[in-house]
Structure 1
Amino acid sequence: MESITESLLFLTIIGFCWASSPLPPHIVFILADDLGWNDVGYHGSVIKTPAIDNLAREGVRLENYYVQPVCSPTRSQLLTGRYQIHTGLQHSIIWMSTPLCLPSDEVIIAQKLKEAGYSTHLIGKWHVGHYMSHCLPHKRGFDSFFGFYQAGSDYYFHNSTNGVYTGWDLRRDDLLVADEYFGKYSTTMYTQEAIDLISKHDRDKPMFLLFSHQAVHVPLQVPASYSNAYLDLIEDPKRRVYAGMVSSLDLSVDDVVCALKSAGMWDNTVLIFSSDNGGSTAEGGNNWPLRGGKASLHEGGIRAVSFVNSPLLPINVKGSINKELIHVTDWFPTLVHLAKGNFNGVKPLDGINQWQTISEGKPSPRYEILHNIDPLSFRPRARGDEWLGNPYFDITTQAAIRIGDWKLLTGKPGNGKWIPPPESGMEIIENTSLRDELVQLYNIRHDPSEMTDLARSRPDIVSQLLYRLSLYNATAVPCSFPKEDVRGSNPSMGDGGWGPWL
């Protein structure tokens, strides 16, 4: 009888502990748009980012973290935890009138966190398709959406153009609200929305906020007070306005953290900061000393600024630099783990739970990253390349893969120049001998700037990585990239804004 009583007491204690356990953490994911590697202070930039710098230095800096070279693919992988080759979004971005979106049978992170009891909110950029209503954020697990559907829009007028027609591009859920916010600067406007959400949030419920900033994507627009702060530091006019936009973004990050603290939520919050791709060097961004930039599979296009900050992190990892291999697909399983959720109904993930790597400094369980295989990429004319006859993979296809320290690129990977910041006075560097190389191999640990192509000296590694590409390619679904639909090209045919047309 005594043992039964003890057992019941034990079960009562266990049940009490479970019932009184703290909420899963609030998760705030701040996604910057087109922020370059060399555009934050802690990477040596002249651009002032004190809030971002402090959060990074007090948290865990992710210095071997990868995204995709352009907008839609990164967002699709963040939302699903799956490579582009497994969702059909291998090629380019989703354009205004493209009848395409992230497939509706893909379970996205908002849905899983909502199932786990979270309130879920998206502020800012969507850009994974809007041609039908089922594609939209509030139909994909987000309780609320305030933002825009396209790649970019005017920061004050909140409209976008396809070169022929112009339409509003600011909505609350599916309702057009752009005219209500006419003249309000986007970064400030979205930040106020985040502050309002946080201040009104029910503290007894965990929050997931994906703050998908418009900044610092073109058009280059910012209040003069921000850009004028760089008059004596940056001569290049694009770079100067861009720097002001980054400063405005930095202030936004600080305001969001202050709002979390004021609401009593900060002590139970995990804050993640990431760029969606490298900076556009033609539009003020910079990735020095990395090679290339936005739209390139070189490091400058895909190695992103990122950090995690949270009072929940153990003291021994706070202020650390993490150089373990991490990919944007990893956030899906990592955040579901933090939320104490499950993976029921989720398609096979390419992402890996990285919480122990981030919070404990343990080695990353990830050994490789498929950066992409794009079957619709430009195929260069191939003559006399020694790898043309390999039995594994068509080297005229644009592709890239990282295994361990080794990175292989095939086809035309995009901008291959080394572009220093304009304010440095240094010259742009270009290795013209590599222009026509269809296979390039780099040891990224020893050569993160991709200065020395080792393809000819290490044919054994090239063969291994080509074979690995072939295995991935065998799992790829057909690439979806339909022609633009004229029915979606004129917003005046609907409610005057870019939105579903089918």
Structure 2
Amino acid sequence: MFFLTGCGSPVSKKANEQPNFLIILADDLGYSDIGSFGSEIPTPGIDSLAQNGVKFANFHVTATCSPTRSVLLTGVDNHLTGLGNMRIIMADNQFGQPGYEGELNDNVETLSTIMQRNGYSTYMSGKWHLGMQESNLPINRGFDKSFTLMETGADNWEKKPYLPHNKTVHYYENEDLAELPEAFYSSDFYTNTLIEYLGEHDRNKPFFAYLAFTAVHYPHQAPKALTESFIDTYRAGWDVIKSNRYRRLVELGLVPDNLEMLDLPLLEEWSSLSPLEQAYRAKQMAVYAAMLKRMDQNIERLLAYLKQNDMFDNTVIMFMSDNGADNNEIEKVFPTYIAENFHSDLERLGEQGSYTNYGPTWANVSMTPFSWYKGSSYEGGMRSPLIVHYPKLLQRGVTTQAYSYVSDITPTVLALAGLTEATDPSKVAIMGKSQLGVLTGKSDTIYQADEPVGYELAGSSALFKGDYKLMRNFPPFGDKQWRLFNIVVDPVERYDLSKTEPERFAEMLKDYQQYQAKVNMVEVNDDYHVIQQLQKNLARYKKDGTELH
């Protein structure tokens, strides 16, 4: 028998008094990209939640999208949900192994299923990325109504793949394949759809809603007028923007003062660029900012709808990102495909038919002050902004430094709904812990100093314990060597403590080994390289026609 653990004290609720829930997930959003986390990009919708909610300065997710989504919706480690690795980068020895199905498996129960079974109406709009099988459609994983993009991403203006390993893009409304309207823009349409679902909602029941934007995943695309409003801002260059963000982060109490940033590979000096190159790079970041701004405008619309319909005050709202900022420049990996399917000229960048991302140096700005990016187990890959808003019960305008992990979201929702005893005992037990004590101000911590939390994907690994983090990264993010950091005083992970604190280092290595056994991890081979494996898997796709999602 499995039992729900670590949920804390549930909130006692009668059925008609239970809160609604709205989880808003951004895609590839950097830690410092929203105003309440230091950004120059105005995000008043998201920031209004921070102003009257709880901001988590030390919240972590997995370093890539689908594993995070699987943990978010189950409270279970990704090696047990079926996303031990993403199919597109799956190591040869992992294919076919339990926990490496490449999609959500049947051993875990989704949060939406639990809520649905206990009287909640459940709605989803946006990116799913948890499996293409009929059994894994959101409608069959606990959502009453859903409109979803099934793949990892897509063009934001039209039904069009953005990578060569997808033959087409699949959208589903409930159990049926769906087409897009002529006037489509992803953030607008996903928000409109959720508002439509809420407009049909039976007000005698509480609701659980999940809005999963594809903003700001590449291709970065946004309305022209919004892009143009940001161009002057980014002509200052990335050094100025990063410095300003860091100063604001310190002022907001989110990160320590006097941190020395790491010099990373691939970063460019703004002064080394020609005027034309500077103009192009500034426009790339302007498109990114506009895409984020449009997402925030839609969040504002949704919040206004909830207020106008007397649902806002009784809705717990959570906002987060699925991983760190993405440094990939896909046009360099698949130049022929991008050139044949998109244009990338400066004048029309971000508009329909265009392709752009913003590269490693702007991604480094997005993750200020942390090091590295999505895919790595550095803080730059795993630390996400998290805002939890429910002034009716929780603290208002507070920032917490308590460590928390994405597996904590499911038990927190269940605790707030009074459903901690409502899980299916035949499924894998929830592994996360409720944030309720921190959210209400009754506790300063979620995890005790001796409680480890493990992570691994594609060989890159981490183990968090108290203020410390054990970490290694496989190429291209690192040299496979284990290192130890105090991420409270050194969140940029500059000072390796493995030699100066050997006992702690050895103890945490042992903790990691126990974590490996607990989640039935299948380790990648020592010669594993994520880019080389990607190319190998794409060759497999071309040979047998298997789509890699």
TM superposition score category, shorter chain reference: 0.7 to 0.9
Q: 1:46 to 1:175 in 2, by over 3 A?
A: same
Residue number in structure 2 paired with 1:174: 175
* Distance in 2 of aligned mates of 1:135 and 1:88: 12
Measure the CA separation in 2 of the matches of 1:99 and 1:78. Answer: 18
Q: 1:323 aligns with which of 401, 422, 441?
A: 401
Tell me which amino acid in the other structure corresponds to 2:222.
V
Q: Does 1:401 align with 2:474?
A: no
Q: Is the 8 A contact 2:85 2:102 kept in 1?
A: no
Deviation string 1:1-46 (CA, Å, 9 cap, x unpaired) is: xxxxxxxxxxxxxxxxx99774210000000001101211122222
**Corresponding residue of 1:291:** 371
CA contact under 8 A between 1:266 and 1:311: conserved in structure 2? Answer: no
Shift of 1:169: 2.5
Q: Is the 8 A contact 2:75 2:430 kept in 1?
A: yes
What residue in structure 2 maps to residue 303 of structure 1? Answer: 383
**SS of 1:107's equivalent?**
coil
The answer on 1:140 being equivalent to 2:134 is no
Q: Distance in 2 between matches of 1:255 and 1:414?
A: 40
SS at match of 1:166: coil
Could you tell me which residue of structure 2 aligns to residue 254 of structure 1?
A: 300
Which SS does the other structure have where 1:159 is aligned?
coil
Are the aligned partners of 2:188 and 2:298 in contact in 1 as well (CA < 8 Å)? yes
Q: Is the 8 A contact 1:65 1:306 kept in 2?
A: yes
Partner of residue 343, structure 1: 423
Measured after TM superposition, the shift of residue 91 of structure 1 is 2.1
Q: Is the 8 A contact 1:322 1:361 kept in 2?
A: no
For 2:375, what is the secondary structure of its paired residue?
A: coil
Is the CA contact 2:76–2:108 (under 8 Å) kept in the aligned structure 1?
no
Say whether the 8 Å CA contact 1:68–1:277 is kept in structure 2: yes
Give the secondary-structure state (helix, strand or coil) at the position aligned to 2:393. coil
Partner of 1:266: helix, strand, or coil? coil
Name the residue aligned to 1:149. 150
**Mapped pair 1:475 → 2:476:** no
Cα offset for 1:324? 1.0
Residues 1:234 and 1:19: Cα distance change in structure 2 (over 3 Å): closer
RCO comparison, higher one (Cα < 8 Å, 6+): 2
Are 1:220 and 2:220 counterparts? yes
Runs of 5+ consecutive residues of structure 2 not aligned to the other structure: 1-11, 236-281, 329-356, 525-532
| Mapped partners of 2:498, 2:13: distance in 1 | 58
Amino acid at match of 2:292: V
Residue 128 to residue 486, structure 1, CA distance change in 2 (3 Å): farther
Amino acid at match of 2:455: N
Q: Report the 3-state secondary structure (helix = DSSP H, G, I; strand = E; otherwise coil) of the residue aligned with 1:211.
A: strand
Task: Give the aligned residue type for 2:387.
Answer: F
Deviations 1:240-278 (A, max 9, x none): 110001101111111111111111111111000011111
- CA distance in structure 2 between the partners assigned to 1:335 and 1:21 by the alignment: 15
Q: What is the SS of the residue equivalent to 1:233?
A: helix
1:156 Cα shift? 1.2
- Relative to structure 1, the CA distance from residue 100 to residue 225 in structure 2 (aligned partners, 3 Å threshold; closer, same or farther) is same
Deviation of the 1:170 alpha carbon = 2.0
TM-aligned CA distance change 1:156 to 1:323, over 3 Å:
same
Q: How far apart in 2 are the matches of 1:438 and 1:410?
A: 6
Q: How do residues 257-272 of structure 1 correspond to structure 2 at under 5 angstroms?
A: 257-272=303-318
The residue that corresponds to 1:425 in the other structure is none
Equivalent in the alignment of 1:67? 61
Is the alpha carbon distance of 1:24 and 1:80 closer, same or farther for their aligned partners in structure 2, counting shifts above 3 Å? same
Which shifted more, 239-248 or 168-177? 168-177
- Name which of structure 1's ranges 435-444 and 187-196 shifts more when overlaid on structure 2: 435-444
- Alignment-derived partner of residue 20 in structure 2: 26
Q: Which deviates more, 405-414 or 294-303?
A: 405-414
Q: How does 1:100-499 map to 2 (within 5 A)?
A: 100-130=102-132, 132-160=133-161, 162-163=163-164, 166-178=167-179, 180-235=180-235, 236-282=282-328, 283-284=357-358, 285=363, 286-314=366-394, 317-341=395-419, 342-345=422-425, 346-367=427-448, 368=451, 370-374=453-457, 377=459, 398-412=460-474, 415=477, 436=479, 438-477=481-520, 479=522, 489=545
* Cα deviation digits, residues 353-384 of structure 1 (max 9, x gap): 2212212351333234534234x53xxxxxxx
**Is the 1:409–1:439 contact (alpha carbons within 8 Å) kept by the matching residues of 2?**
yes
C-alpha distance 107-157 of structure 1, shift in aligned 2 (>3 A): same
> Which protein is bigger by CA-based radius of gyration?
1
**Distance change (3 Å), C-alpha of 1:334 and 1:36:** same
Q: What secondary structure, in the 3-state scheme, does the structure 2 residue paired with 1:62 have?
A: strand
Deviations, residues 72-97 of structure 1 (Å, cap 9, x unaligned): 11001011111123334222356899
Structure 1: gaps of 5 or more residues: 1-17, 378-397, 416-434, 492-497
C-alpha deviation, 1:453, in angstroms: 1.4
Q: Distance in 1 between matches of 2:475 and 2:452?
A: 16
Provide the secondary structure at the position in 2 that maps to 1:450.
coil
SS state at 1:465 partner: helix
> In 1, Cα distance between the equivalents of 2:467 and 2:284?
35
- Which residue type is aligned with residue 41 of structure 2? I
